[in-house]
Chain A
């Protein structure tokens, strides 16, 4: 079973529009990570959330972790073509040494 569910699987938005990507865990998280990937390339770290209710922002991207530490959202404001790519959420769980990933969200931004 998938430990992390990401939605939507793909997203096409017009440049300038806002969008949200969700990541839901079946278990309480120790840490939640957001990455961006250009197709065929390595992952670029965006943000890491660890505390319930935490929110972080970087430029036009904001990520939040809910109080229960089982759900996170990534919000992009006024999207640009440079935001296009695959967004992946990764999670570290308690008593584990590894990180598990969601299936990814493919974002296309139309100019």
Chain B
């Protein structure tokens, strides 16, 4: 069965610090992978998606970036965090449905 891992579960970072969130998938190969952000009490905003290694599509201009160094690994990064980067970050992959990881709650202080 497919499993999707995300870490860390929670993160508190100061403004201007770097960020690295990792997502890995098990039980499937060559998945389409997605990063979403959810602001408090709101829906999901698609940030990036990837259809293969090294292939990243960005949905919104921002100070975040994504990379896919391996088939089942998807990384969300920032060189300098902003207060507005706070939120709940979800990684997902698309099969019959879209399977979501447990999420990372990021608080930028």
Binding site for B on A (CB under 8 A): 6, 33, 35, 40-43, 45, 48, 88, 90, 92, 97-104, 106
Binding site for A on B (CB under 8 A): 32, 34, 36, 41-46, 49, 51, 57, 59, 88, 90, 92, 94, 96-103, 105
Across the interface, do A102 and B43 meet the contact criterion of CB distance under 8 Å?
Answer: yes
Q: Is the interface of B mostly helix, strand, loop or mixed?
A: strand
Known contacts A33-B98, A102-B43; 17 further A-B pairs (Cβ under 8 A): A33-B97, A41-B102, A42-B100, A43-B92, A45-B97, A45-B99, A48-B96, A92-B94, A97-B94, A98-B57, A98-B59, A101-B36, A101-B44, A101-B45, A101-B46, A103-B43, A104-B42
Q: Is the interface of A mostly helix, strand, loop or mixed?
A: strand
